[in-house]
Structure 1
């Protein structure tokens, strides 16, 4: 990876002088106000020192901006698991640069990303937003991402520090993590990113670690993050995570978000005057916030860390999204069908293609929750495959089985607008909607004041693409009146008592009735939402949905249609997926089975056509009981807005599926050596210690479906030699490993060379990786440094790091389960 750009010493000193000068002109009230959110996404401006309002925005696959609205769409990149599957820190850096460009377009100074928590259990509901089960891979990809964002002069908040590895009772859970596991696994990605990328921000998690909530964790924030690692950036709370004024300040929290109701601001000024906390701590926090402002160019009179002229610009978001999605595809299986493996397909020689599955037509490209953005377009798998084939090539679509077990927000065929009104019915403002979901958090449409807001109506037209009994419903908290084609389907209240306040606010889907509609004939629809009067919210917020479902058909008939289409085609491509109600922020998964009858669909199609390719759209592992019965399995993750275009590139061989698994995929949930995310009396014990992911699988009697690092390409590689040379302690290098490889196939390709450290007594671990490319018959050398920090263990008795003892072997591998060469590692 290219090193982070050194900030010019003169410019950095000038920024520090400007920060000190600004701090000296602020009184206590101004300083404490600076540490508290002004609203949902911003910190207040302080004109007396030339400070502009600092604007933050959700990430990590796009930049929402202050308002989550289709009127200001965002580039939607593939999920972070996809980014990690590319095993390419420089690609992650390019993604970060694009997001910095997007941030500037939307007036954003700080991106709330990346998420570098680990895939401890396959049931983690938000794993699509994190990278991997391995701390080294997570740290490398995270550092690349941070470098890219900050190359563009935009700040980050590396999150969630630390231990937010599941969603169950995330606001209150106490994660009990042993010191060794904490150091070697969960803190390790943060440590690597601080060392390699110098991030300007870190986000403190909701959860507690070993009895102390993370927004007050002096030992980990002040002691480890700032003290041991030398982190000089800001620490911001996760939204609504800060719980106490004095405790948070002493624990090292700089910014309490969101506002205007926070534990800082006036409450903090009062605590200082009452002698509960020292003003020197306020000064230290304010200094760090001013430093962030100076770095991103929000403090006048001092140079930003990256000048406008030096920011990467002109990056094509569509092209990068497509490239990333293709590079991330992991080919799990590719059997010989005829003289050659099934993939890649020949677009000119395809004698008919059956494209099957609801997710083939309605692409599943994003995970649920704060990672969602509105792209200005989405290329579905069906559209992408059709576009890549010659004109007139036969392509037949069959639904087969719908993964949605609940109604989703109105989408295809709807033209909708949200209209806000006061109690007298006067229109205050509104905006167009891309679908049936309204989500206004903090900022409202122009002209709408929350104090005046009484109702919001989603209204417009619906043109059905099929005739029959269309299903409609509601989701949210408050009053609802649902009218379709002049018929009132529901008029009454709705509420949800979900333990997670975010989930409770947005509610659960409720089906309200059906209306018989004719194909192609437009009808008027309206969902009038009355805001709940007794709901006290810390920020202005409106969130509800108009739901819709196509007419229900006989499931057996749908399956029969899919089988018939597959039997008549040369090749069948089945796209299966999870849903937002399976993988999302706010809750964990209860199993790994694909929702609906998708497993049965794949089994039946495979029985009808041996040339069956299954494309899996999920952000984390799913069970695949049919995997040995199909010709090929391609993991596409949540592939972002260019999903179908990238899929066509890979299936038809324009691009090689270069991805490798960043996380082990179990055959069954029951086999996973670590899976528990449920609590016992508010505590989640990480009893497995340092044994998670592939480290735990190596001690297990069970065999995974696909091991960590696995992935096939369209060529073959021979590992011909491995040499290991001593490194230099002066630059933190234990050794330099060199592998000579030969491409023995008939196509150009890319190989990810993985290096694992094996000893007699310690868990096996990934310590380095690199990628090489070569044409048919060519040889190429892969050379990587093995860092000293990657070959150390935490000695709990001594309370410090020590080198791994005894004979040490460095393995060069295609995956953790496919070691090709090994050599002693110098002592």
Structure 2
């Protein structure tokens, strides 16, 4: 039986697909081959009927499948954030999430999911922190492996991203990340290597950034030598969108697909480079071979049997989203067992985020679910009638948001003469149109203006703020009055997605009356290079309701808390705090939310705080409240899952996948380049490794998380590298424990972390029952990258193996020698 470079056996089905791929490749001419390596539009590759190749469609993930249309008209299941999935510490749960997303992809005609993101939590300031799993490469690799296996079990390809060291957003298109080879191998490449070995992904996506001087879309050493050569990866390498900048350097550096199209560095530019002798046609053939292999695997190449011939059984998306959410919630504090809530008693629910839930992070991972269950919705359904009250307390949104609630809008497209050439739905005030999204009858070349027009019915009287998000010329009209007619300049020339990620700009405050419907209109002049059609059309109408006095709102919340048996305060970040496209400036909660929590806690000793953020925030009041529950971005069913956990129908199952602590104590924070470079000078010391090296104590350590029962660690044994830990549920209810194993060299070594996660296992037990967790420690746990030898080296000697509930709560130890 044939084998890949990594030693994985090729099945007869693999060999049959390869034969079809080779036959198809032999038919294609140069122009067809190079056209196949360039997107035909934003999300797909061209069909080649001469070889029976249908168009291959890609879509953003990782918490849902957006599809080719980025609109609320095409809803998608929205799962909890990747940080939440990692907090479950359960690769099988990740596999089930992936299987659901494959089901969603097939429903939407998508063949390849642009996920998962397996970059690391190097700095808590990284704006896209919520979209990656963990600060630990081993945990990241395990969760990512489960996710990829799940997606591909449904016959849908994955692209593990962003290869590599795309760990922050500042200057992401140009930054040169200077990373030592040892840190690169032991930390940043490690999750990719594990997933390639254990899940055989069908694709990777290379990042925007440079690594040690070379753009990742051109990085032949890391792509051709390491990814393909050392690891035996046989899938495709697709660029991040607009990341490919050089025809010759990209194809010779191992890039297979340059997205988006139709104008890219491949296509005709690549054919010309071959004809002029700058690129060998054999190099192009290798890239085409990999693309055809992907097409064969997903079933769009005639004559090739897809890897999955029958879709798996249907999965209930709402039920799985709810399960993942409650299993991801991390209870980091629970004084006097204030949770779960008593069966009787009253609850004051407080916080704007309790009513308008933030289910997911901002940026390209955004999807539009058919419904979102807020905490208010969930608790209203779960608690006895009359036992729940609600107060806003404080609003985390200090900026305008995309117009959505209480707006009825449509899009009207006109040519340069002002003639209507098409209309389209606008379920929200956000327009982002690629080629496939344009309304019927509208072409790029003919489009001159897009008008968002419709009505708005205020829910409150007072000054309503309206504004614009985007770049270019705009005219804003509210209730018959033109409030703005001008141009928004570009703030970031290198960022093609500025219209999505930039902050809305306020332009007027209009006095409106509750219930009186008014007409609104925002017209955008579509800019495009002279003589060429426009690329994407992106802009938004933004709005903010009248703002009440913050002190008055907090006073109302305090009164509600004082009158209730328990106060539940939901605090949150916003899209202007956590999103793709920019990094964070601090870890503080926005608005007056910290003041709100302090005031409520002073009024009611039974105050529970639910933290609705995708990544760490500072909790300066954490010792003043009875309980703190981290809910991440919990997906569309988050409110229902929260009710499950607060009422005790289910226990919170999560453990921290990253360390939480104040910014002033965090050992690694730098995300802003200097002179175009960002030095990873900390080497292998990030996350908990760095906290321990610096001798600092975080607010909550890596791996921490409480349930609703107690566990006793009874014994630990090591036979070779197999470790068995016996634990007993010594509480009053059934529960799940995550047994964590940390490895430490018996002799301290300044060049190595004090200890590192080497394995984990989840176990379940009834009250009084004891169970065993059996963990096989991977050989890599005992190895380091020897920079002089350019190879992995096994470090022999004695190691302490500690089993416990977190990095800081280690219960039992044993010693093994390698």
TM range (shorter): over 0.9
Question: Post-superposition shift, 1:7?
Answer: 8.9
Return 259-268 or 409-418, whichever deviates more. 409-418
Matches within 5 A, 1:517-528: 517-528=512-523
Which among 600, 603, 609 is matched to residue 604 of structure 2? 609
Question: Quick one: distance in 2 between partners of 1:701 and 1:201?
Answer: 40
Tell me the residue number matched to 2:3. Answer: none
Question: Quick one: distance in 1 between partners of 2:270 and 2:147?
Answer: 34
Tell me the residue number matched to 1:37. Answer: 39
Question: Quick one: distance in 2 between partners of 1:126 and 1:538?
Answer: 32
1:681 aligns with 2:652: no
Which among 787, 795, 813 is matched to residue 786 of structure 2? 795
Question: Post-superposition shift, 1:271?
Answer: 0.8
Which among 597, 613, 628 is matched to residue 633 of structure 1? 628
1:598 aligns with 2:593: yes
Question: Quick one: distance in 1 between partners of 2:313 and 2:415?
Answer: 43
Which among 341, 350, 356 is matched to residue 345 of structure 1? 341
Q: 1:618 to 1:700 in 2, by over 3 A?
A: same
Question: Quick one: distance in 2 between partners of 1:449 and 1:65?
Answer: 21
Question: Quick one: distance in 1 between partners of 2:381 and 2:712?
Answer: 36
Q: 1:221 to 1:509 in 2, by over 3 A?
A: same
SS at match of 2:363: coil
Return 296-305 or 392-401, whichever deviates more. 392-401
Q: 1:537 to 1:545 in 2, by over 3 A?
A: farther
Question: Quick one: distance in 1 between partners of 2:421 and 2:151?
Answer: 37
Question: Post-superposition shift, 1:561?
Answer: 1.1
Q: Does structure 2 conserve the Cα–Cα contact (< 8 Å) formed by 1:650 and 1:656?
A: yes
What are the ranges of 5 or more consecutive residues in structure 1 without an aligned counterpart? Answer: 1-5, 727-734
SS at match of 1:698: helix
1:623 aligns with 2:609: no
Q: Does structure 2 conserve the Cα–Cα contact (< 8 Å) formed by 1:606 and 1:630?
A: yes
Question: Post-superposition shift, 1:634?
Answer: 0.5
Question: Quick one: distance in 2 between partners of 1:721 and 1:712?
Answer: 21
Q: TM-score, normalised by structure 2?
A: 0.96
Q: Does structure 2 conserve the Cα–Cα contact (< 8 Å) formed by 1:259 and 1:539?
A: no
Q: Does structure 2 conserve the Cα–Cα contact (< 8 Å) formed by 1:92 and 1:144?
A: yes
Question: Quick one: distance in 1 between partners of 2:338 and 2:808?
Answer: 24
Count of matched residue pairs: 804
Question: Quick one: distance in 1 between partners of 2:111 and 2:196?
Answer: 19
Q: Does structure 2 conserve the Cα–Cα contact (< 8 Å) formed by 1:259 and 1:538?
A: no
Question: Quick one: distance in 1 between partners of 2:359 and 2:530?
Answer: 33
1:558 aligns with 2:560: no
Question: Quick one: distance in 2 between partners of 1:237 and 1:587?
Answer: 20
1:357 aligns with 2:359: no
Which among 635, 640, 658 is matched to residue 653 of structure 2? 658
Question: Quick one: distance in 2 between partners of 1:575 and 1:446?
Answer: 43
Q: Does structure 2 conserve the Cα–Cα contact (< 8 Å) formed by 1:502 and 1:586?
A: no
Deviations 1:73-131 (A, max 9, x none): 11111100000000010110111011111111111110000000000000011010000
Question: Quick one: distance in 2 between partners of 1:420 and 1:790?
Answer: 59
Return 265-274 or 473-482, whichever deviates more. 473-482
Question: Post-superposition shift, 1:450?
Answer: 1.4
Question: Quick one: distance in 2 between partners of 1:369 and 1:535?
Answer: 29
1:283 aligns with 2:285: yes
Q: Does structure 1 conserve the Cα–Cα contact (< 8 Å) formed by 2:558 and 2:599?
A: yes
Question: Quick one: distance in 2 between partners of 1:247 and 1:233?
Answer: 19
Question: Post-superposition shift, 1:680?
Answer: 1.2
Deviations 1:496-536 (A, max 9, x none): 32355145344431212222222223222222222235689
Deviations 1:133-188 (A, max 9, x none): 00000000000000000000000100000010011111111111111100000000
Which among 400, 411, 415 is matched to residue 407 of structure 1? 400
Tell me the residue number matched to 1:804. Answer: 795
Q: 1:109 to 1:453 in 2, by over 3 A?
A: same
What are the ranges of 5 or more consecutive residues in structure 2 without an aligned counterpart? Answer: 1-7
Question: Post-superposition shift, 1:394?
Answer: 3.1
SS at match of 1:659: coil
Question: Post-superposition shift, 1:546?
Answer: 1.0
Matches within 5 A, 1:491-506: 491-498=485-492, 500-502=494-496, 504-506=498-500
Return 293-302 or 760-769, whichever deviates more. 760-769
Tell me the residue number matched to 2:540. Answer: 545
Which among 639, 646, 657 is matched to residue 641 of structure 2? 646
SS at match of 1:694: helix
Tell me the residue number matched to 2:21. Answer: 19
Q: Does structure 2 conserve the Cα–Cα contact (< 8 Å) formed by 1:358 and 1:403?
A: yes
SS at match of 1:471: strand
Q: Does structure 1 conserve the Cα–Cα contact (< 8 Å) formed by 2:445 and 2:533?
A: no
Tell me the residue number matched to 2:693. Answer: 699
Question: Quick one: distance in 1 between partners of 2:328 and 2:42?
Answer: 34
Tell me the residue number matched to 2:4. Answer: none
Deviations 1:662-687 (A, max 9, x none): 00001x20100111011111111111
Which among 53, 57, 71 is matched to residue 59 of structure 2? 57
SS at match of 2:694: coil
Question: Quick one: distance in 2 between partners of 1:92 and 1:428?
Answer: 46
Tell me the residue number matched to 1:331. Answer: 331
Q: 1:618 to 1:809 in 2, by over 3 A?
A: same
